[in-house]
Structure 1
Amino acid sequence: MGNVVVMRAEDARRRELESEGWVVIARSFGARLEAADVDQTVLQEQIGKISDPVQLTELDAGDANMILELDQATADDYPGSVATQHEQMTADEARPTDRRRAFGAVDKEGVLLAMTFVEVEVEGEVEGGVVDTDFTVVRAGFRRTGLGAAVKAYSILALLGEGALLFRTGGSADNAAIIGANARLGYVRDEEWVTLAEPDHPAA
Structure 2
Amino acid sequence: MDEMRVLRADDPGRAELEAAGWTLAGESWGARLTVAAPPRLLEARAAVEAARAAGFEVRELREVEADAVNELEAATQADYPYTPATAREHLDLDAARTLFAGDGRVFGAFDDGLLVAVTAIERRGGHAETDFTSVRSTHRSRGLAVAVKALSVVTLADEGVRTFGTGGAQANAGSIRMNEALGYEIHERWVSLRRAAAGGGSTEPAGI
TM-score over 0.5 (shorter chain): yes
Query: Contact 2:25–2:84 (CA<8 Å) still a contact in 1?
Result: no
TM-score (norm 2): 0.89
SS in 2 for 1:120: strand
RMSD over aligned Cα atoms:
1.8
- Per the alignment, residue 166 of structure 1 pairs with 163
Number of aligned residues: 197
Distance 1:82 1:32 in 2: 21
Take 2:167 and 2:49, find their aligned partners in 1: how far apart are those partners?
Answer: 24
Is the aligned partner of 1:114 residue 2:117? yes
TM-score by length of 1: 0.90
In structure 1, list runs of 5 or more residues that go unmatched: 123-128
> Which residues in structure 2 correspond to 1:1-204 (within 5 Å)?
1-36=1-36, 40-50=41-51, 51-95=53-97, 96-108=100-112, 110-122=113-125, 129-199=126-196, 200-203=201-204
User: Which residue type is aligned with residue 165 of structure 2?
Assistant: R
Q: CA offset at residue 62 of structure 1?
A: 0.7
Offset at 1:202?
A: 2.0
Contact 1:34 1:167 (8 Å CA) reproduced: yes
Shift of 1:39: 5.2
1:122-150 Cα deviation digits (max 9, x unpaired): 2xxxxxx2100110000111111111011
Which residues of structure 2 form unaligned runs of 5+?
Answer: none
SS in 1 for 2:138: coil
The percentage of aligned residue pairs carrying the same residue is 39
CA shift, 1:35, in A, is: 1.6
